[in-house]
Amino acid sequence: MGILNKILTAFRGGATEVGQSIVDANSTRIFEQEIRDAEKHLTNAKRELTDVMAKEMQASREVDRLKRSITEHEGYVAQALDKGNEALAIEVAEKIAQLEQELAEQQTANDSFSAHAVRLKDLVKKTERQLSDYQRQLSMVKTTESVQKATATITDSFASSNSKLLNAKDSLERIKARQQQFDDRLKAAETLAEEGSDKSLQAKLAEAGIGEQKSNANAVLERIKARKS
Give the Cα separation of 172 and 192 in Å (integer): 30
User: Is residue 91 a contact partner of residue 98, using CB atoms and an 8 Å limit?
Assistant: no
In the three-class reduction of DSSP (H, G, I as helix; E, B as strand; rest coil), residue 214 is classed as coil
**Residue 40, CB half-sphere, CA atoms under 13 Å: how many?**
6
Question: Min. distance of Cβ 171 from another protein in angstroms?
Answer: 4
Choose the stretch contacting another protein; rule: CB under 8 A; options: 34-42, 50-58, 140-148, 196-204. Answer: 140-148
Question: Min. distance of Cβ 150 from another protein in angstroms?
Answer: 4
Applying CB under 8 A, what is the total number of residues that bind another protein? 28
User: Is residue 28 a contact partner of residue 135, using CB atoms and an 8 Å limit?
Assistant: no
Site string for another protein, 9-28 (x = CB under 8 A): -------x------------
Q: Is 33 in the site for another protein (CB under 8 A)?
A: no
Using the minimum distance from each CB to another protein, give the nearer residue, 150 or 205: 150
Among 169, 225, 227, 228, binds another protein (CB under 8 A): 169
Question: Min. distance of Cβ 170 from another protein in angstroms?
Answer: 8
Running DSSP on this structure, what letter comes out for residue 167? P
Site string for another protein, 176-195 (x = CB under 8 A): --xx--x-------------
Neighbours of 7 (CB within 10 A): 19
Contacts of 69 (CB under 8 A, 6+ apart): 99
Using the minimum distance from each CB to another protein, give the nearer residue, 85 or 139: 139
Q: Is 212 in the site for another protein (CB under 8 A)?
A: no
Rg (CA), the chain: 48
Q: Is 153 in the site for another protein (CB under 8 A)?
A: yes
User: Is residue 55 a contact partner of residue 108, using CB atoms and an 8 Å limit?
Assistant: no
Give the Cα separation of 159 and 192 in Å (integer): 45
**What are the residues binding another protein (CB under 8 A)?**
16, 139, 142-143, 146-154, 156-157, 165-172, 174-175, 178-179, 182
